[in-house]
Structure 1
Amino acid sequence: MGASLSNLTEGSNGSATGRPGLGDIPESCVACVFLYLTPPEICNLARLNRAFRGAASSDAVWETKLPPNYHDLLDLMPPERYQNLSKKDIFALLSRPVPFDDGNREVWLDRITGRVCMSISAKAMAITGIEDRRYWNWVPTEESRFHVVAYLQQIWWFEVDGVVKFPFPSDIYTVSFRIHLGRFSKRLGRRVCNFEHTHGWDIKPVRFGLSTSDGQQASSDCCLDETEQDDANGNHKRGCWIEYKVGEFIVKETDPVTELRFSMKQIDCTHSKGGLCVDSVSIIPNDLKQRRR
């Protein structure tokens, strides 16, 4: 049995040994198998021989890996970037972030499943008091995919709202805010965090919410700071990026276009709060989010 398998995989053509090899499999049959494999698996198998390379370049294979509305993603780019590209090259192009809305939003395809993901910068959101530097500042950083985050020093009315209209393919999506307690910087090549302004997030929870144009709604409450600290480990929510789940929404049909509204609020004016970085909101298919965790 082992010898037979060894002979089958030897070389690109089995005619030299008189036994069948991978090179004897018709390209059309290989393409049929590739329909059930993931893009990384297809690319790995393409290195075996000519038939596998040919099947791995087939438009018929890669058409099934692209979402049904991939043309909407291409429309976000200049036509010269994707004209005359094969479906394989289009998949490779869309699996890298495609910026739009002046670079404040990005959309891309998951490299394994080909499903649509999106990230929205704080720059694309409505933030109460953002124009007043006594409350908020924009902080440049390499820790954000958008290279800038909104840092709150202190405020009484905290409210961040966003909206997006996009032809999301049919799927179940999870919406999350990416938040950081404390202001971070680099000193002598090391990352350091300053919690001088961090306060008020352990008194009452923040309310996260979302709603869609077809009537779906979701909300959740969460305290961003720990009221009790571990003497050994300190406050585990401080000094690191945490993704807070807002909720989920379902898209059944790409048409009509889904309009999604999301928010993050703590509008109890009995106490001030500050020392918080708001980076972005992610919209990712639900099981992909679970896989990343």
Structure 2
Amino acid sequence: MDINQLPAECLSCILAFTSPKDACRSAVVSPAFRSAADSDALWTTFLPSDYRQIISQASSSSTSSFLNSLSKKALYLRLSDHLLFIGSGNSGFVLEKGSGKKCYMIGARDLEIVWGSSPAYWTWQSIPTSRFSEVAELQYVWWLEIKGKIEGRNLSPKTKYAAYFVFKLVEDNFCRHVFETTPVSLEVHFEGAEVEEDRRKRVILDPLEGSSVVCVERSDGWMEVEMGEFFNECGDDGSIIFHLMQIDRLRKGGLIVEGVEIRPKYE
């Protein structure tokens, strides 16, 4: 039997066992495959099961209405190509394009920053390269501590994730040199779980030339460093905490915080 003679519904069911990328490629096989590859039935299987709830959390009602008007394929591509600002607009959601896994970016305003409300220590400003309306710039502190969390149910189940601290350093801040010599402590863990010492990372945010570099420059011009990883088993395991700390008696400054990104990690 010629597979092209199968009803579009059957072809959609077959393509649902592939990936979004493979489904797009199959559209060039024949008109029958093109119809199946573009169908709402297929792309609904690639979207998160709670995509309607995610869209309803959009920071703009007009954005929510626009997304609901799209075909399921167009919606998938939109959510994978553009950050969807949710809640008050200080955090965002995006789909990993190749897999459909859920990713989140938690902006600085939605993080718990010690002394973050004091203009003497931290200032809030707009930077054109940031995805968010405001970022936090450290003027100076002795106690540097930033904490955030995300609910496991908001992420894709059966998925290994990592949290990444996204930042910049100000060139002309006289306290910046601390980040060249003194590591910050980074950790990621489930809320209530005891953190093992070997799960904590100690990282130089501004390594000197020739040092072992773990901070990388992103395509958007920001820097990122992995804070830690975790496996989201069922998606209902409670909250995942991510934590940055440097509390020695050294005065530090010149750090600009955009936020923390949570995305799937592959070996």
TM-score range, shorter chain: 0.7 to 0.9
Q: What is the aligned partner in structure 1 of residue 103 from structure 2?
A: 117
Q: What is the aligned partner in structure 2 of residue 213 from structure 1?
A: 191
Match of residue 76, structure 2, among 91, 112, 123: 91
Provide closer, same or farther for how the CA distance between residues 165 and 32 of structure 1 changes in structure 2, counting only shifts above 3 A.
closer
The residue identity in structure 2 corresponding to 1:282 is: E
Q: What is the aligned partner in structure 2 of residue 188 from structure 1?
A: none
Q: What is the aligned partner in structure 2 of residue 63 from structure 1?
A: 44
The residue identity in structure 2 corresponding to 1:123 is: R
| Deviation, structure 1 residue 156 | 1.0
Provide closer, same or farther for how the CA distance between residues 279 and 61 of structure 1 changes in structure 2, counting only shifts above 3 A.
same
Please give the root-mean-square deviation of Cα atoms over the aligned residues, in Å.
3.3
Gaps of 5+ in 1: 1-20, 183-192
Residues 178 and 244 in structure 1, CA contact (< 8 A), matched pair in contact too: yes
Structure with greater Cα Rg: 1
Q: What is the aligned partner in structure 2 of residue 200 from structure 1?
A: 178
Cα distance in 2 between the residues matched to 1:237 and 1:99? 26
Cα distance in 2 between the residues matched to 1:238 and 1:74? 31
Cα distance in 1 between the residues matched to 2:35 and 2:117? 56
TM-score of the pair, normalised by structure 1: 0.73
Residues 152 and 236 in structure 2, CA contact (< 8 A), matched pair in contact too: no
Cα distance in 1 between the residues matched to 2:225 and 2:214? 14
Provide closer, same or farther for how the CA distance between residues 43 and 238 of structure 1 changes in structure 2, counting only shifts above 3 A.
closer
TM-score of the pair, normalised by structure 2: 0.79
Q: What is the aligned partner in structure 2 of residue 280 from structure 1?
A: 259
The residue identity in structure 1 corresponding to 2:132 is: F
Provide closer, same or farther for how the CA distance between residues 194 and 44 of structure 1 changes in structure 2, counting only shifts above 3 A.
farther
Cα distance in 2 between the residues matched to 1:237 and 1:210? 17
Residues 180 and 238 in structure 1, CA contact (< 8 A), matched pair in contact too: no
| Deviation, structure 1 residue 137 | 1.5
Provide closer, same or farther for how the CA distance between residues 138 and 67 of structure 1 changes in structure 2, counting only shifts above 3 A.
same
Residues 174 and 245 in structure 1, CA contact (< 8 A), matched pair in contact too: yes
Cα distance in 2 between the residues matched to 1:180 and 1:66? 33
Gaps of 5+ in 2: none
Q: What is the aligned partner in structure 1 of residue 121 from structure 2?
A: 135
- Secondary structure class of the residue paired with 2:200: strand
The residue identity in structure 2 corresponding to 1:62 is: W
Cα distance in 1 between the residues matched to 2:137 and 2:33? 51
- Secondary structure class of the residue paired with 1:60: helix
